[in-house]
Amino acid sequence: MFSAQAARVLRAQRIETPSWAYGNSGTRFKVFPREGVPRTPQEKIDDAAKVHELTGVAPSLALHIPWDRVPDFAELRRYAADRGIALGAINPNVFQDDEYRYGSVCAPDPGVRRKAIDHLLECVEIGVATGSKVLSVWLADGTNYAGQDDIRARQDRITEALTEVHDAMPRDMRLLLEYKLFEPHFYTMDVPDWGTSFAQCLRIGERAQVLVDTGHHAPGTNIEFIVAVLLREGRLGGFHFNSRNYADDDLMVGAADPFQLFRIMHEIIGGGGLEPGGGVELMLDQCHNLEPSVPAMIRSVMNVQEATAKALLVDRAALASAQADGDLLAANAVVTDAFNTDVRPLLGALREEMGRHPDPVAAYRESGYQQRIEAERGQGGMSWGA
């Protein structure tokens, strides 16, 4: 049984799905188009609404601009609201235009920097129209060769650009700065790690926080340590959840290493990140290269829920007492016992209490939605990056 407190946290949990995950994607070698993929941002909202209808905990959709550009964002917001969906984080795109060859806000050319800042400012305005409270900034900026550009000057350019954007945001909007250790650049990335993002956020302003994309770390990195430290500093803005085996694989969250996901949730809960007003955004950032995206997204949301439920089962009083006694084996057992608990029946019961099918994947199969979208939309849906 979940405690009343754990059930309350699980009922209140919100997991945001990304618009781009509903489109076709692949590798640089091949995109295998799937049947039934959304042809418009509105159809991405329809799919997100299905995921929310069946899970009950995924009521918002993150947008990527310009991939999801529409003539009227207020109208898109209404379209989403009619289907029970809010528009979530706005993800600007300062990495796909020819001008960004040497960077965006870090580019040596002030004209290129202005173009990038103007796009970020436009995304703030789009966020106001869509009712979004988060601007998720990922900079693909970096260099490929030693000496290519001045590392410190590029840091200064980030601070200058993002301070301007931060100060233009409404008071209730936050700027989350994502980091990534490599790719597309291979000698330096201008925001390669949480330390750089954190240092930038401290200079940029109060509403600048770090975004942790689980796929953006070197193998073996202890992500939950980063989580604990950033939460303690009040600068953990949220996550882009996904799974990696090698690099930025963007596979389904919880697929490769559910224990890591559990350890992350354990630290988030320990640091109060899931308390009301905790402010930690749980967003997915995935691609579905082979599998159909709607059931994959349902599965991903359930994976986050399962990791959360297990983390909520950790007997924190027993853990504190084992820690105080210096009994590291007992302390570790408290944590691993929770991880080894099968929470699926408990979550099924909770879903039924919330008026939903206990098994969202089975409910999806029974709904006939996949057959319907394949028949209606055929091939030729939208692709990641376009």
Distance (Å, whole) CA 343 – CA 182: 36
| 85, 48 Cβ separation under 8 angstroms | yes
Q: Binding of ligand PSV at residue 160 (CB under 6 A)? A: no
Residue from 43, 53, 213, 224 binding ligand PSV (CB under 6 A) = 213
Fill in the amino acid letter for 117.
Answer: I
Nearest one of 25, 20, 12 to 291, comparing CA atoms: 25
Please, which residue, 10 or 94, has the CB nearer to ligand PSV?
Answer: 94
72 three-state secondary structure:
coil
Q: Binding of ligand PSV at residue 2 (CB under 6 A)? A: no
The number of CA neighbours under 13 Å toward the Cβ of 142 is 20
Residue from 99, 122, 248, 257 binding Mn ion (CB under 5 A) = 248
With contacts defined by CB under 5 A, name the span among 107-115, 224-232, 245-253, 322-330 that binds Mn ion.
245-253
Task: Report, in this order, helix, strand and coil percent for the chain, each rounded to 5.
Answer: 50, 15, 40
Q: Binding of Mn ion at residue 285 (CB under 5 A)? A: yes
Nearest one of 367, 366, 386 to 46, comparing CA atoms: 367
Nearest one of 123, 139, 239, 226 to 180, comparing CA atoms: 139
94 three-state secondary structure:
coil
Q: Binding of ligand PSV at residue 248 (CB under 6 A)? A: yes
| 315, 334 Cβ separation under 8 angstroms | yes
Alpha helices in 205-287 (DSSP H): 223-232, 258-270
Please, which residue, 16 or 285, has the CB nearer to ligand PSV?
Answer: 285
Q: How many CB atoms lie within 10 A of CB 67?
A: 19
Site string for ligand PSV, 285-304 (x = CB under 6 A): x-------------------
Q: Binding of ligand PSV at residue 20 (CB under 6 A)? A: yes
Q: Binding of ligand PSV at residue 138 (CB under 6 A)? A: yes
- Answer with the entry of Mn ion, ligand PSV, none that 310 interacts with (C-beta below 5 to 8 A by kind): none
Please, which residue, 367 or 383, has the CB nearer to ligand PSV?
Answer: 383
Q: Binding of ligand PSV at residue 178 (CB under 6 A)? A: yes
- Residue 184, preceding bond cis, omega within 30 degrees? yes
State which of positions 215-244 bind ligand PSV (CB under 6 A).
Answer: 240
Please, which residue, 189 or 307, has the CB nearer to Mn ion?
Answer: 189
Please, which residue, 91 or 293, has the CB nearer to ligand PSV?
Answer: 91
Please, which residue, 34 or 310, has the CB nearer to ligand PSV?
Answer: 34
State which of positions 21-60 bind ligand PSV (CB under 6 A).
Answer: none
Please, which residue, 23 or 360, has the CB nearer to Mn ion?
Answer: 23
Q: Binding of Mn ion at residue 213 (CB under 5 A)? A: yes
Fill in the amino acid letter for 371.
Answer: Q
The residue assigned the tokens 């770390």 is: 217
Q: Which residues bind Mn ion (CB under 5 A)?
A: 213, 240, 248, 285
Q: Which residues bind ligand PSV (CB under 6 A)?
A: 20, 91, 138, 178, 180, 213, 240, 248, 285
